[in-house]
Amino acid sequence: MAEAQFNEVIHAPMRLRICGMLHSAGEVEFAAIRDMLGASDAVCSKHLKVLADNGYVTLSKRPGQRNGHDVTWAMLTDAGSEAFEAHVASLRAIAGLG
């Protein structure tokens, strides 16, 4: 189990939800993340960029199947997975569950 460490970058509600989804599902298409968040493309992009800039997420583009446009995929890095697990451990400790 990861050592508890609160993470300001991951803690933002939308970024926490993104990390949770990626931690559970592995690689996820941008549209699925956006739809799960119920956010606009711009808001989703902004949060993914923050996570990517901090080394927690990798973003890759691949040709799309439906309309020929490139599709963005996101995946937690090893550092992102470790940071997410440590943050969740911290939240559990704060809530008296850890």
Residue 63 pLDDT:
85
CA distance linking residue 90 with residue 65, whole number of Å: 40
Residue 67 pLDDT:
73
Residue 2 pLDDT:
75
pLDDT mean by block of 10 residues, the chain; 98 residues: 90 98 96 97 98 98 80 97 97 89
Predicted TM-score of the model (pTM): 0.91
Angle between helices 78-94 and 13-25 (to 10 degrees): 120
| Assigned CATH topology for domain 8-94 | Arc Repressor Mutant, subunit A (1.10.10)
